[in-house]
């Protein structure tokens, strides 16, 4: 009786392992992921390395300078992720994230000229983000969402 129960247990256990393996491996054979995932620590490190790069409207390279969307697009392309060129297109094409769920590498959007998507930056952590704000500031820099100007103009966040 004990030998029979042990054999039944082994058979049940072996079937269970086989079924689990089939489920596990069949999941791997599904549709391949087509959208690359970002290494946000590398993305943020690269963005921070561009601090001080000149602001230049309509540009998107360290040599020529950056506007806000050109900066974000350049940083993500450096990681192999293609984003749209304009702030509006970025906001419309990416997944929304709540402000309370912000993670490093998320994009933060602002209403700086009467449009909800008129400025963009890359969230770092602790309410800080890096961006190419304007000709007046003249360079890529880190700002805080706690700053009244940026806090009052925050529109939403998106995740690339």
* Residue from 11, 56, 119, 156 carrying the catalytic annotation: 119
Superfamily (CATH) of domain 40-159: endopeptidase domain like (from Nostoc punctiforme) (3.90.1720.10)
Q: Single out the catalytic residue among 28, 56, 68, 103.
A: 68
CA distance 70 to 72: 6
* Nearest residue to 102 via CA among 130, 122, 73: 122
Domain edges within the chain: 40-159
Task: Check if 68 is active-site.
Answer: yes
For the question of residue 119 being annotated catalytic, the response is: yes
| Angstrom distance (rounded) from CA 157 to CA 118 | 13
Query: What per-residue string of b and e applies to 100-134 under the rule 16 or more CB within 10 Å gives b?
Result: eebebbbbbbbebeeeebbbbbbbbeebbbbbbbe
Rounded CA separation 92/103 (Å): 19
Which residues are CB-contacts of 97 (< 8 A; sequence separation ≥ 6)? 103, 106, 157, 158, 159
Q: Which of 11, 56, 131, 156 is catalytic?
A: 131
The question of whether 131 is a catalytic residue gets the answer yes
In tens digits, the chain (160 residues) has pLDDT values of: 444 444 443 433 333 433 333 333 333 333 333 333 456 899 999 999 999 999 999 999 999 999 999 999 999 999 999 999 999 999 999 999 999 999 999 999 999 999 889 999 999 999 999 999 999 899 999 999 999 999 999 999 999 9
């Amino acid at each position: 009786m004990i030998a029979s129960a042990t054999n039944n247990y082994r058979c049940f256990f072996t079937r269970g392992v086989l079924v689990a393996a089939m489920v596990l491996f069949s999941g791997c054979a599904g549709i391949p992921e087509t959208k690359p995932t970002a290494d946000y620590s590398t993305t943020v490190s690269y963005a921070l390395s561009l601090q001080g790069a000149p602001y230049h409207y309509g540009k998107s390279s360290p040599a020529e300078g950056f506007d806000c969307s050109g900066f974000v697009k350049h940083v993500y392309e450096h990681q192999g992720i293609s984003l749209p060129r304009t702030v509006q297109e970025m906001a419309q094409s990416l997944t929304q994230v709540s402000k309370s769920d912000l993670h490093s590498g998320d994009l933060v959007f602002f209403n700086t000229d009467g449009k909800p998507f008129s400025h963009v930056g890359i969230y770092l952590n602790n309410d800080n983000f890096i961006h190419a704000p304007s000709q007046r500031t003249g360079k890529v820099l880190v700002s805080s969402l706690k700053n009244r100007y940026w806090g009052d103009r925050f529109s939403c966040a998106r995740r690339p």
